[in-house]
């Protein structure tokens, strides 16, 4: 019955014609081949895929089979995709941008480019919730935190946020919350980046914070303002390049009981007195210039640091040091109890997916260059800016500030010009400057500027004034150092050994590979994390990403230079609309949670536009992901929970009662479909009707869209808006905890409300303010989802969802005799994931979900999602990319562990020291002497419970990590010189 050992290409049909390409992507993306799919169907008792799907997805929500076919989205082969991407790349003009505003021409060290950014062992990792198999990236993220703490001189820093603008918004809310939520005014200096201001406006709205914008010095004197002030945001150096002394401001703000939030630049801080030394409470910014390509806006890692006092209020993930059961130092995510999935509607941040991969790249950049290398870069950038100043001044241009690091703002009227004249001269030589207004032009220099670049820049100005062009020997002496004496950095930075060791390429390469060797990723084994959709991240979809045609584009480059990107964006929006059944799409939100927040803000704007501003109640099932209530709260909505029934279904009666009760104020209902319990509920359309009947809008959390594609869609289900996690369903790799993209798709009546952007036109005529710093969020990785959709085509997309359902149901079928399958539909079927309940083991033998999870590590697997959405459960999602063999291997492991548990229950093995409680078993544990091996089982049973592991096994590198110890003794930087033992052995 089991299919033959000999597999074919997944769908090894004869090609339809001589000209049909053979490198068709569905064959490679989908794990099981036709025979294996047939086998699984037969085991489940079905004769056809259709018969099976009909019992999984409720007929009422099915879309027509013509909705998603190869006629609707024609599949491209891998080569065709590559060719088309190349072509679109050439449609982006290779201008070099000196626009600044947080985006630079970063120089990516090749060893990091190839071994981190282009390396699936790094980019396919999941968020390091399982520290025993994630010590590599945890160490790297601690390097990132340490780098930020050291350069800003702050006490603590997190492991990245989405971008500088949303980080500023987090800072604002943190100031608001930390000062008691009574003082409603947040002051923003007018020289912060415009995109930061736009995102602050959006975010302030939901919290009812009042933004005041102006010259920050008024904070010193305006008593009316001071009385209501919760915080001040300043930028250092500011968006126009000027370096101001905010020391007094900080003092004065503190006297008024307000916090000082500083947006800054890591490279500048190597030369500037760091904010931590002049009173900042919160310091944030963008780390992209540390070796992360601009990518038309992202992704890159924002950083966020604060004082000791505020640390437990800090948003985002924080990696700390702790110890394992043997006392060995081990890293892990700290203060997890702060995360929004615990705080839910009381959360003031919804950040979940952040920018781990990009934080790792920036940290590696610091490791590779070290303090002296980075200082050398800063000196060069500053020196060239000094030289540019003296050069342009000789031509009659006036720069608006005598203090600067890398940015000059030129008043072109000094040279009797209009700014457009300068921009035209720049465009003529393939260069972009910052458009400020008619009078002023901004120029920001960076690490990439060589002599030819410099002359090209300088000669834009000679050409604009009609003087003869300059050569190197014509340049004047540089303008004197433009960093005020008292704002010059005197403190050391990056003194930790890790930043002072790996400076040759060989050492760096080995460091990267050493960390990599500690981390389980998709290159090793299935990572069946429920709700996370860890599917194939194909090479073909990743390749174009690091082409300079896409990597080196500034997000604020003029539209006629970015036609390639514009086309990719348009096609992706169109395809996502086809897939969701909706009318419009915004790709701006750069995480799923950001999408939720955006979608809910759109709903609020919709109500407001119809004079229903008071609608502020949001119904959310108790089973919802923690980001849902958190996002609702951030959008200014009041969360009212809706019950679930015994069988896991939504309690429609409760929904109806609550919808009617809040009829007058009902704003929205948030629902995840299929539910977070892994079941397609039949009543979804009824639920939506109840909401609509009571004046509300339906928000569909698209985290589980992988179960829907081509079979049903959010529009048919009755939704008005949904977000998608492109880093789940649409194959953007998880990167160890980001990047992500969380676009929203909306019905026609909401289309005019999707977000705008202050610099590049996006959104409709009623657009809400921006939700991300860049107009299209993490634009460069949109290529991945675009490629994924184009290569699968309509049929492949649908097949993928079907196989995802089949794999999950086959797994349920295999595990059901051994584990308590918590929920299924009336046909006995789950959706694309399954929830198993382990409560019985706790009762019988004190075995917790964690014990099963850690034991799975010993079998070489990444554990499924644990204790969510139900604390006693595991949520298992295989995706379509896993082969039958891997699925069997996982089920066999689970069944084997079930037997190990049985031995504990029956007393064959002790309850305190056993294979599960002691799991995982790293090498350090099993290589002890015989005397020390004090376990009631053998070494082999511990580490090779099934025979396949002898040939292939991924080893945890530490034993179980102690979370409590780490949280009590919070240490979030890497070991210092003193802490590091120096032996050369």
Ligand X SMILES: Cc1ncc(COP(=O)(O)O)c(C=O)c1O
- CB 742 to a copy of itself: min, Å: 25
| Residues contacting 384, CB < 8 A, separation 6+ | 445, 449, 454
Cis omega (within 30 of 0) on the bond before 299? yes
| Residue matched to tokens 């006092």 | 309
Measured distance CA(727)–CA(703) in Å, rounded: 9
Measured distance CA(314)–CA(882) in Å, rounded: 37
Nearer to a copy of itself, 472 or 761 (CB): 472
Q: Among 41, 159, 260, 352, which residue sits at the site for ligand BCT (rule: CB under 6 A)?
A: 352
Structure tokens at 760: 């590049």
Nearer to a copy of itself, 22 or 51 (CB): 22
Phi–psi pair at 483, nearest 5 degrees: -105, 120
Site for a copy of itself in 67-96 (CB under 8 A): 78-80
Q: Among 312, 689, 818, 896, which residue sits at the site for a copy of itself (rule: CB under 8 A)?
A: 896
Measured distance CA(96)–CA(527) in Å, rounded: 41
- CB 678 to a copy of itself: min, Å: 22
- CB 394 to ligand X: min, Å: 51
Site for ligand BCT in 523-542 (CB under 6 A): 531
Measured distance CA(897)–CA(886) in Å, rounded: 17
Burial 235-248, CB ≥16 within 10 A → b, else e: bbbbbbbbbbebbe
The site that binds a copy of itself (CB under 8 A) totals a number of residues, namely: 109
**Contact assessment for residue 550 and residue 89, using Cβ atoms and an 8 Å cutoff:** yes
125 binds ligand X per the rule CB under 6 A: no
| Closest CB to ligand BCT: residue number | 352
**Contact assessment for residue 591 and residue 353, using Cβ atoms and an 8 Å cutoff:** yes
**Contact assessment for residue 762 and residue 588, using Cβ atoms and an 8 Å cutoff:** yes
Nearer to ligand X, 174 or 593 (CB): 593
Structure tokens at 108: 């990516």
- CB 593 to ligand BCT: min, Å: 9
| Residue matched to tokens 């010193």 | 220
Site for ligand X in 330-359 (CB under 6 A): 352-353
The site that binds ligand X (CB under 6 A) totals a number of residues, namely: 16
985 binds a copy of itself per the rule CB under 8 A: yes
Nearer to ligand BCT, 434 or 832 (CB): 832
- CB 392 to a copy of itself: min, Å: 16
- CB 733 to ligand BCT: min, Å: 14
Sign of CA dihedral 903, 907, 908, 912: positive
Measured distance CA(65)–CA(436) in Å, rounded: 52
892 binds a copy of itself per the rule CB under 8 A: yes
Residue 672 interaction partner, one of a copy of itself, ligand BCT, ligand X, none, beta carbon < 5-8 Å per kind: ligand X
Query: Mask: binding to a copy of itself, 401-440, rule CB under 8 A, as x and -?
Result: ----------------------------------------
Measured distance CA(755)–CA(769) in Å, rounded: 6
Nearer to ligand X, 49 or 726 (CB): 726
Site for a copy of itself in 102-121 (CB under 8 A): 107, 109-111, 113-115, 118-121
| Closest CB to ligand X: residue number | 592
Which residues on neighbouring strands pair with residue 235, listed in sequence order? 263
674 binds ligand X per the rule CB under 6 A: no
Q: Could you tell me the strand order of the sheet in which 434-435 lies?
A: 398-399, 407-411, 440-444, 434-435
Helices 164-178 and 194-207: angle between axes, nearest 10 degrees: 40
Structure tokens at 709: 């594609």
Cis omega (within 30 of 0) on the bond before 869? yes
Q: Among 532, 731, 745, 972, which residue sits at the site for ligand X (rule: CB under 6 A)?
A: 532
742 binds ligand X per the rule CB under 6 A: yes
Structure tokens at 678: 């892994």
Q: Among 141, 436, 703, 707, which residue sits at the site for ligand X (rule: CB under 6 A)?
A: 703
Q: Which stretch binds a copy of itself (CB under 8 A): 37-45, 172-180, 312-320, 936-944?
A: 936-944
Query: Mask: binding to ligand BCT, 329-348, rule CB under 6 A, as x and -?
Result: ------------x-------
Measured distance CA(382)–CA(404) in Å, rounded: 8
Nearer to ligand BCT, 133 or 267 (CB): 133
Nearer to a copy of itself, 926 or 971 (CB): 926
Helices (H), 635-701: 652-661, 684-693
373 binds a copy of itself per the rule CB under 8 A: yes
Q: Where are the beta strands (DSSP E) in 569-652?
A: 584-586, 617-621, 638-642
Nearer to ligand X, 152 or 598 (CB): 598
Contact residues: ligand X, CB under 6 A: 352-353, 531-532, 591-593, 625, 627, 672, 676, 701, 703, 725, 740, 742
Contact residues: ligand BCT, CB under 6 A: 127, 341, 352, 531
């Amino acid at each position: 019955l089991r299919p033959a050992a000999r597999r074919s290409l997944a769908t090894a049909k004869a090609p339809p014609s001589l000209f049909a390409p053979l490198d068709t992507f569905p064959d490679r993306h989908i794990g099981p081949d036709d025979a294996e799919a047939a086998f699984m169907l037969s085991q489940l008792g079905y004769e056809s895929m259709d018969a099976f799907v009909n019992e999984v997805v409720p007929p009422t929500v099915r879309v027509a089979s013509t909705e998603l076919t190869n006629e609707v989205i024609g599949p491209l082969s891998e080569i065709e995709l590559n060719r088309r991407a190349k072509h679109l790349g050439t449609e982006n003009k290779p201008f070099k941008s000196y626009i600044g505003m947080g985006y630079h021409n970063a120089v990516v060290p090749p060893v990091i480019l190839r071994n981190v950014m282009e390396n699936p062992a790094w980019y396919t990792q999941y968020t390091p919730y399982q520290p025993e198999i994630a010590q590599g990236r945890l160490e790297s993220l601690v390097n990132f935190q340490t780098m930020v703490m050291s350069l800003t001189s702050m006490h603590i820093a997190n492991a990245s946020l989405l971008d500088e603008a949303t980080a500023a918004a987090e800072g604002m809310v943190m100031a608001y919350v930390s000062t008691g939520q009574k003082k409603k005014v947040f002051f923003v200096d007018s020289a912060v980046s415009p995109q930061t201001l736009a995102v602050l406006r959006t975010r302030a709205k939901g919290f009812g914070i009042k933004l005041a914008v102006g010259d920050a010095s008024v904070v010193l004197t305006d008593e009316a303002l001071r009385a209501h002030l919760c915080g001040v945001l300043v930028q250092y150096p500011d968006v126009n390049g000027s370096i101001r002394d905010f020391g007094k401001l900080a003092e004065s703000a503190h006297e008024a009981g307000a916090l000082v939030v500083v947006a800054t630049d890591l490279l500048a801080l190597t030369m500037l007195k760091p904010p931590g030394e002049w009173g900042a409470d919160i310091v944030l910014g963008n780390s992209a210039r540390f070796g992360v390509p601009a990518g038309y806006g992202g992704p890159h890692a924002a950083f966020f640091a604060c004082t000791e006092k505020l640390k437990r209020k800090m948003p985002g993930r924080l990696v700390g040091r702790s110890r394992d059961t043997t006392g060995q130092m081990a890293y892990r995510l700290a203060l997890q109890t702060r995360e929004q999935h615990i705080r839910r509607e009381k959360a003031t941040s919804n950040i979940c997916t952040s920018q781990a991969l990009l934080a790792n790249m920036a940290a590696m950049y610091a490791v590779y260059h070290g303090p002296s290398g980075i200082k050398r870069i800063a000196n060069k950038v500053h020196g060239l800016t000094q030289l540019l100043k003296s050069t342009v001044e000789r031509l009659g241009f006036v720069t608006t500030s005598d203090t600067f690091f890398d940015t000059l703002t030129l008043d072109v009227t000094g040279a009797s010009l209009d700014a457009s004249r300068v921009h035209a001269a720049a465009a003529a030589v393939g260069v972009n400057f910052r458009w400020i207004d008619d009078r002023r032009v901004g120029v920001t220099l960076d690490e990439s500027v060589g002599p030819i670049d410099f002359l090209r820049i300088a000669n834009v100005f000679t050409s604009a004034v009609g003087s003869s062009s300059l050569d190197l020997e014509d340049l004047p002496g540089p303008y004197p150092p433009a960093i005020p004496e008292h704002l010059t950095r005197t403190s050391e930075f990056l003194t930790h050994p890790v930043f002072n060791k790996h400076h040759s390429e060989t050492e760096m390469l080995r460091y990267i590979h050493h960390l990599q060797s500690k981390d389980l990723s998709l290159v090793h084994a299935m990572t069946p994390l429920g709700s996370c959709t860890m599917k194939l991240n194909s090479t073909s979809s990743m390749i174009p990403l690091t082409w300079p045609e896409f990597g080196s584009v500034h997000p604020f480059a003029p539209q006629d230079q970015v036609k390639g990107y514009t086309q990719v964006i348009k096609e992706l929006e169109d395809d996502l609309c086809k897939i969701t059944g909706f009318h419009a799409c915004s790709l701006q939100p750069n995480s799923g949670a950001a999408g939720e927040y955006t979608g809910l803000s759109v709903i609020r704007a919709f109500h407001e536009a119809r004079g229903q501003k008071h609608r502020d109640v949001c119904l959310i099932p108790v089973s919802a992901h923690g980001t849902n209530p958190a996002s609702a709260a951030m959008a200014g909505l009041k969360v009212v929970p809706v019950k679930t029934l015994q069988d896991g279904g939504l309690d429609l009666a409760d929904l109806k009662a609550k919808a009617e009760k809040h009829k007058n104020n009902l704003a929205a209902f948030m629902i995840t479909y299929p539910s977070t319990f892994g079941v397609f509920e039949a009543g979804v359309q009824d639920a939506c009707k109840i909401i609509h009947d009571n004046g509300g809008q339906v928000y569909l959390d698209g985290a589980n869209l992988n179960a829907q594609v081509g079979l049903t869609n959010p529009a048919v289900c009755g939704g008005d808006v949904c977000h998608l996690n492109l880093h789940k369903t649409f194959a953007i790799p998880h990167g160890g905890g980001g990047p992500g993209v969380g676009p929203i798709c909306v019905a026609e009546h909401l289309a005019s409300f999707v977000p705008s952007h202050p610099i590049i036109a996006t959104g409709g005529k009623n657009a809400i303010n921006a939700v991300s710093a860049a107009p299209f969020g993490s634009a460069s990785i949109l290529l991945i989802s675009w490629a994924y959709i184009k290569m699968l085509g309509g049929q492949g997309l649908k097949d993928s969802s079907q196989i995802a359902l089949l794999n999950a149901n086959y797994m349920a079928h295999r595990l059901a005799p051994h584990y308590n399958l918590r929920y299924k539909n009336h046909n006995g079927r789950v959706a694309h994931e399954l929830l198993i309940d382990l409560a019985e083991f706790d009762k019988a033998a004190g075995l917790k979900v964690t014990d099963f999870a850690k034991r799975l590590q010993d079998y070489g697997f990444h554990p499924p999602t644990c204790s969510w959405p139900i604390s006693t459960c595991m949520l298992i999602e295989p995706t379509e990319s896993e082969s039958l063999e891997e699925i069997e291997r996982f089920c066999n492991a689970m069944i084997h562990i079930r037997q190990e548990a049985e031995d504990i229950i029956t007393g064959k093995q002790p309850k305190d020291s056993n294979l599960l409680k002691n799991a995982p078993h790293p090498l350090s544990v099993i290589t002890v002497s015989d005397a020390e091996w004090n376990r009631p089982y053998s070494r082999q049973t511990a580490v090779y419970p099934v025979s396949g592991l002898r040939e292939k096994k991924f080893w945890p590198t530490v034993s179980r990590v102690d979370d409590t110890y780490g949280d009590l003794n919070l240490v979030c930087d890497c070991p210092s010189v003193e802490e590091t033992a120096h032996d050369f052995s």
